[in-house]
Structure formats: structure tokens, C-alpha cells
Amino acid sequence: MTSPRLTPLQWLICAIAALGFAFDIYEILMAPLVVGPAIGELTGSRPGTPGFNFWVGMFFWIPALVGGAFGLVGGYLTDRFGRRRVLVWSILIYAFSAMAAGFSTNIWMLLFFRSTTYIGVFVEFVAAVAWIAEIFPDAKQREAALGYTQAFSSIGGLMVTGAYAIAVTYSQSFPAIAGSHTPWRYTLISGVIPALPLILIRPFLPESPAWQQKKAAGTLRRPSIAALFTPELRRTTIVTTLMFAFAYGAAFGAIQQMPRIVPGLEEVRALEPRQQQQTASAVQAYQEFGGLAGRFLLAFLALRILSRQRLIRTFQIPGLIIIPFVFYYAATNSLELTKWGMFAAGVFTVGQLSFWGNYLPRVYPTHLRGTGEGFAANIGGRMLGTSFAFITTQLVNVVPGATPSARLAYAATIVVAFVYAAGLITSFFLPEPKSDALPE
């Protein structure tokens, strides 16, 4: 049976959702590009020292930890007060925070505004996934809309890579901030730009029909976290939370460390500092193109592979084989191998992250959809998963290696091998959705 054609309003909703997902990743993937220069300037620590590694770990973990906690609350509010209202407030929070972070004068101010940025980003993801899923009652349209709008997340990664390259190249032409022209500040401030069209358009888009109808009829049950651990949903909640954590562990514990590994490559060490940053940005671009390919591949395969276990293992198995090699060998020996290895890392890791946006709406009922997605994404991904960034930066202090960059590469190898293996094992316990229709 052929799916009905999308209406103009549905096309607009998809476009705005795609831009929202792109901005989410724009903010998250800003971190590996700016962390080194920002920590160096605000703390005075030198790269490779225990103090520097400590603050790098804090920079990755604390905002994600705070954002994850509030993101869980945001999932509850999404079920309680509606998808659209929460989406509007989330964009306002992270638009202001993105701007303010660029004017930070100390490390605590930077951590505070990065934390409030992540609050907006993480709440936005949960509300947007529930909103998109419920706008499309047709199963094939829903799978395609969730898959392809999330694919634009990787456009956000390409956008921030480009923004950082522009900031590095033209920083001296921009107005001074805190008495300097450091590129990391302009990159942080640039995060407000994609938010502007969202602020203007989102308040006028419709509420989720499924949520609105239940609310109007008085049949919308009150959400609760305890309901996620009833016998019917307990296994789903535990397994999805763990698997989300392992997927985020690969992203934060390894992939986001690469911009600090690249300057240690023999081919890059001899370059001027600005050229080193540009080279790291170029490697990041390969990863983003890989992530874009992974998201589109997930969207394509989600319509053709019925088993959700088989679908996610399509990304986990090759990733377990390839990505540890990328960090152990390529990242310490060859810039060219590193570029293409990071493309592969993007395909297999980011493809998994897109998987959850398609899977989670199909296993939680309407009154728990935001809460369930919020628990898996925020407790699993954003609070537990991002802690692997801190683990990696502490492993650097004990693993062998000739240079700080080599030690970071080997630490990332250990972490990414563990999370990929653990995720693959856990996937055998992942429940299959009961039907194509969303649970009521």
C-alpha cells in the first residue's frame, strides 16, 4: 500500500525539525573543537598535564551531566504540558546560553553556560522526536520522517566545523572579546545563528495531534518515571538506557577526542598552531560526512530491515572491528588513514544514535513517550555515556605512549573497544516493537 503524500504543513514541520536537530549537534560538536584553546586560556594549564586533562574531562562531562538531569525533567514536561510548548522554551534557553558562553571570563562561567546550553539541546531532542513521531500516523512516513530529519544532525556538525575554520582564519578581523581575538569565543557565539529561524517559526506550528486529542478528551494519563519500570516496560527501559550509554560512550570517549589527537601526528606537529587547528577541523569534517552517511544509511535501512536488533547490529559489528584500529594505529601513524577512519567512525557511531530516534517512539505509549525517551537519552546517553569522556581523559595519565596525543589515542582505543563490545552484547536483549503503530 502506497503511503499518502506529505502535506505542505508536514513538509514545513520536517524542515523545522531538521534544522532543530542540526542545531543540537552544532552545539554538541562544538565542544571538541574549542575545548583545548578554551581550557588553556581560562585555566592557564598546559596540554598533556594532569590539571589540563582534568578540566577537559569536566568540560565534556559536567554540562552533559547537568543537561541530562534537566533533559529527564524535560521529557516529563513534554508529556505533561505538550510537545510544542517545551520545544519553544528549549530553543530560547539554548539560544541565550550559546551567546553568553562566548563571553566567559573564567572556567566556571564557561561550564555554567555550556550546561544551560546542553539543557536546551537535550530537552529539545526528546520533545522533537515525540512531536515528529506523532505528527505522522502512517508508519512508513513516520520512519522516513524520523530517519531523514535526524540525518540533518550531521549537517550541524559540518556547519560547526565550517564555523570554526572561519573563526580560526578570520578571528583577527572580528571585534575583540575579553581583550582578545581567540577563535573559540566566536565559535561559541555562532551557535545563536541557527536558532533564530526556530525562534520565529516554532511557536506557530501545531501541537502533536495524538497528545492534543488525549488532553482534550481528558484521557491523558499523568506520566511518571516509576511507570517505566513496570513489568511491561522494565526490560525496554534498562536495555535502551544501557545501549544509549554505550553509543554515547563511543562518541564522547573516543570520537570527540580526535581534534586533540590530530596535532600530535608527525605530519601535523611541524605545522604552525593555526594550521594544526585547521587540520584538526578538516579531520572533524571527514567524521561529519561519515555521520551524515550513517544517518542516511539508517533511514534507508530502517524501512527495509524489520528486526530492530538486526538493524542496529548492522552498525555495531563493523564498528567494533574498525574503530579501535583507527585510534590505536591510524591516529598515531597516518593523517590520511585517520581521515578515512574517522569517516567510518562517523558512519557506524552516528548511525546508531539515529537508530534511537526511530526506535523509542514505538515502544512507549503516548503519556510516557517523552518520559521514556528522556530517560534513555538523558540518563543513559547524556549522564552515563558522556562520563566516558572523563574516563578517557583520566586513562591518559596511566597508559603508555611517547607523546600526550599518543596516550590520548590509546586511552580512546580502550574506551571505544569496551563500549562497542558492551553495546553489541546488550543488543541481544533489545525488545522488538510489537507493531508498526505507535502504542496508545
Q: pLDDT tens digits, residue range 396-406? A: 999 999 899 99
Report the pLDDT averaged over residues 321-350.
96
Helix (H, G, I), strand (E, B), or coil: what is residue 307?
coil
Q: How far apart are CA 71 and CA 67, in angstroms?
A: 6
Residue 97 lies in a domain: yes
Instruction: For residue 3, give the nearest of 148, 150, 147, 136 by alpha carbon.
Output: 136
Beta-bridge mates of residue 177: 180
Residue 218 lies in a domain: no
Q: Is the pTM of this model over 0.85?
A: no
Report the pLDDT averaged over residues 338-354.
94
Residue 435 lies in a domain: no
Report the pLDDT averaged over residues 160-179.
88
pLDDT at 108: 94
Percent above pLDDT 90 for the chain: 38
pLDDT at 160: 86
Q: How far apart are CA 253 and CA 256, in angstroms?
A: 7
Q: How far apart are CA 213 and CA 339, in angstroms?
A: 49
pLDDT band per the 50, 70, 90 thresholds, residue 2: low
Q: How many CB atoms lie within 10 A of CB 94?
A: 27
Beta-bridge mates of residue 180: 177
Q: What is the pLDDT of residues 24-74, one digit of tens each?
A: 888 888 888 888 889 999 998 888 788 888 898 888 888 888 888 888 888
Q: Cell numbers 584553546 correspond to what residue?
A: 37
Q: How many CB atoms lie within 10 A of CB 39?
A: 23
What is the span of the domain harbouring residue 80?
8-205+228-427
Q: How far apart are CA 233 and CA 286, in angstroms?
A: 39
Cβ partners under 8 Å of residue 231, min gap 6? none
Structure-block grid coordinates of residue 54:
582534568
- If you average pLDDT over every residue of the chain, what do you get? 88
Residue 216 lies in a domain: no
pLDDT at 372: 87
Q: How far apart are CA 105 and CA 261, in angstroms?
A: 27
In terms of DSSP H, where are the helices of 82-175?
Answer: 83-101, 107-135, 139-151, 153-170
Report the pLDDT averaged over residues 328-336.
95
Check pLDDT > 80 for residue 121.
yes
Q: Cell numbers 535526524 correspond to what residue?
A: 150
Structure-block grid coordinates of residue 437:
503503530
Instruction: For residue 150, give the nearest of 298, 47, 48 by alpha carbon.
Output: 298
Q: What is the pLDDT of residues 290-324, one digit of tens each?
A: 998 998 899 899 888 889 999 999 999 999 999 99
Residue 404 lies in a domain: yes
Residue 214 lies in a domain: no
Q: What is the pLDDT of residues 199-213, one digit of tens each?
A: 788 778 888 887 888
Q: How far apart are CA 143 and CA 33, in angstroms?
A: 32
Total count of domains within the chain? 1
Distances (CA, A) of 37 to 45, 106, 284, 433: 10, 13, 16, 45
- Cβ atoms of 324 and 413 closer than 8 Å: yes
Residue 240 lies in a domain: yes
Say which CATH number the domain at 414 has. 1.20.1250.20
Long-range contacts (CB closer than 8 Å, 24 or more residues apart) made by 44-51? 47/260, 47/404, 48/403, 48/404, 50/397
Check pLDDT > 60 for residue 253.
yes
Per-residue burial over 103-140, b = 16 or more CB atoms within 10 Å of its CB, e = otherwise: ebeebeebbbbbbbbbbbbbbbbbbbbbbbbbbbeeee
Residue 154 lies in a domain: yes
208 — phi, psi (to 5°)? -60, 125
Report the pLDDT averaged over residues 91-100.
86
